[in-house]
Amino acid sequence: MTLPELHDVNSDQETAGLETSLVINRDAAARLGVTPAAIDNTLYDAFGQRQVSTMYESLNQYHVVMEVESQYRQGPGALHDIYVRSKNGDLVPLSAVSHYERTNTSLGVNHQGQFPATTLWFNLAQGVALGDAVQAIRAAEAEIGLPANVHGSFQGTAKAFQSSLSTQPLLILTALIAVYIVLGILYESYIHPVTILSTLPSAGVGAILALLLFHIELSIIALIGIVLLIGIVTKNAILMIDFAIETQRKDNLNAKDAIYEACLLRFRPILMTTMAAMLGGLPLALGTGTGAELRRPLGITIVGGLLVSQVLTLYTTPVVYLYLDRLGHWIKRLLGKEPQRTAPNFNPSLGTPEA
């Protein structure tokens, strides 16, 4: 994968500012008994606003700050009037053990939060997804081997992309839990909501295959389409399972006969509602013009998910319903909430089974 060259946003910034650096002559300081710590403390006393005391009054308190008079801190020339105390107590002029140098520097220092920062921006090459660019930059960062005190982070679109990736699984899981709770309350069952949710993998596979077929990345808009599919696709199973459960309870039918009758009577409503939703998504998938790049992932996700799920769920939902119904009865027998079925006893004298 080829990415364009990274550009430094701060490279075009003016560097006409002036910076004064104090250079210590350590040999001269050592001969005169002046330590770098003494120079640092003296400069902090003169220009650093060292707090030396606190004045307390009846209603308030005031901090006493040490500093030189304003006329002695107007420029670098004030360093010539600073004296440093040596180890033997003598006052040594700061100019005797140091000198200052003027260099050019930037007019401002950019910050990200509380830390100085520089910004590198990049453009995507033709046909390169943002996710691939993020991975390539992370690989280059690991290859360079940045120091421990240098940290890299993404901003702007790349940061929003990473945030969406980190929350996508949680968003889908939350939607599934909400659907399961609602269905469990509706059918008063822990098993049959799983039967309905079993239709979702086919919809997810169809949506992903459609995105791959049209070379579209899994963006936030495509994720919204997948979340919409959770509600649209479960409709097929709800139409069948709702009718089958109602038939079992009212007509006292077994699970096989109930789901068979539900498939026959609910086929046309399932087909009609699915076709209506699919045809409603086609304009989004095939549309062009301004904003089409945002609408197309949504339409393609809906159409692809509905197409695959429609073909599969009509066959898989009855099978899952039968197996989970048997599992539910087995769990009830295991917990002692359903009586065991025993074979009838045969009475030879009557020639008929005896209960």
- Summarised one tens digit per residue, pLDDT across range 6-36 is 444 444 455 667 777 888 889 988 888 999 8
Has residue 266 got a pLDDT over 60?
yes
Instruction: Select the more confidently predicted residue: 154 or 67.
Output: 67
- Summarised one tens digit per residue, pLDDT across range 162-214 is 666 667 778 778 888 888 888 888 877 788 788 888 888 888 888 888 888 88
Average pLDDT over residues 310-337: 81
Percent share of the chain, pLDDT over 70: 85
Bridge partners (DSSP) listed for residue 66: 50
Phi, psi of 84 (to 5 degrees): -115, 135
Has residue 343 got a pLDDT over 50?
no
Give the whole-angstrom CA distance, residue 236 versus residue 275: 12
Number of H helices, E strands in the chain: 10, 12
Q: Which two tokens stand for residue 55?
A: 């004045």
Average pLDDT over residues 318-329: 84
Other beta carbons less than 10 A from residue 340's beta carbon: 6
Q: What is the pLDDT of residue 355?
A: 40
Has residue 90 got a pLDDT over 80?
yes
Q: What is the pLDDT of residue 61?
A: 92
**Which H or E run includes 160?**
helix 156-187
Lowest average pLDDT, out of 52-56, 102-106, 297-301, goes to 102-106
Instruction: Select the more confidently predicted residue: 10 or 226.
Output: 226
Percent share of the chain, pLDDT over 90: 1
Give the whole-angstrom CA distance, residue 175 versus residue 183: 12
Q: What is the pLDDT of residue 112?
A: 74
Per-domain residue ranges of the chain: 21-144, 157-334
- Count CA atoms closer than 13 A to 124's CA, side-chain side: 12
Per-range mean pLDDT, top range of 148-162, 253-267, 331-345: 253-267
Has residue 154 got a pLDDT over 80?
no
Query: Beta strand 352-354 with 345-347: parallel, antiparallel or unpaired?
Result: antiparallel
Q: Which two tokens stand for residue 289?
A: 């013009």
Give the whole-angstrom CA distance, residue 178 versus residue 229: 14
CATH, range 157-334: 1.20.1640.10
Give the whole-angstrom CA distance, residue 262 versus residue 254: 12
Residue 241 CA: distances (Å) to CA of 173, 188, 325: 23, 13, 11
Average pLDDT over residues 86-94: 88
Angle between helices 292-334 and 220-251 (to 10 degrees): 30
CATH, range 21-144: 3.30.2090.10
Band the pLDDT of 338: cuts 50, 70, 90: low
Residue 29 CA: distances (Å) to CA of 22, 74, 83, 90, 139: 14, 26, 12, 13, 48
Has residue 351 got a pLDDT over 60?
no
Give the whole-angstrom CA distance, residue 317 versus residue 175: 20
Lowest average pLDDT, out of 2-6, 156-160, 219-223, 298-302, goes to 2-6
Torsion (CA) 256, 258, 264, 265 in degrees, nearest 10: -170
Give the whole-angstrom CA distance, residue 303 versus residue 320: 24
Lowest average pLDDT, out of 111-125, 190-204, 240-254, 298-312, goes to 111-125
Phi, psi of 98 (to 5 degrees): -160, 165
Give the whole-angstrom CA distance, residue 13 versus residue 5: 19
Q: What is the pLDDT of residue 138?
A: 78
Per-range mean pLDDT, top range of 18-22, 93-97, 139-143, 215-219: 93-97
Q: What is the pLDDT of residue 299?
A: 87
Mean pLDDT of the chain: 78
| Residue from 43, 50, 121 nearest 79 by CA | 43
Three-class SS state of 37: helix
Q: What is the pLDDT of residue 277?
A: 85
Instruction: Select the more confidently predicted residue: 343 or 150.
Output: 150
Lowest average pLDDT, out of 2-6, 85-89, 207-211, 261-265, goes to 2-6
Torsion (CA) 313, 314, 316, 317 in degrees, nearest 10: 80
Bridge partners (DSSP) listed for residue 345: 354
Q: What angle do CA 345, 347, 353 make, to 5 degrees?
A: 50
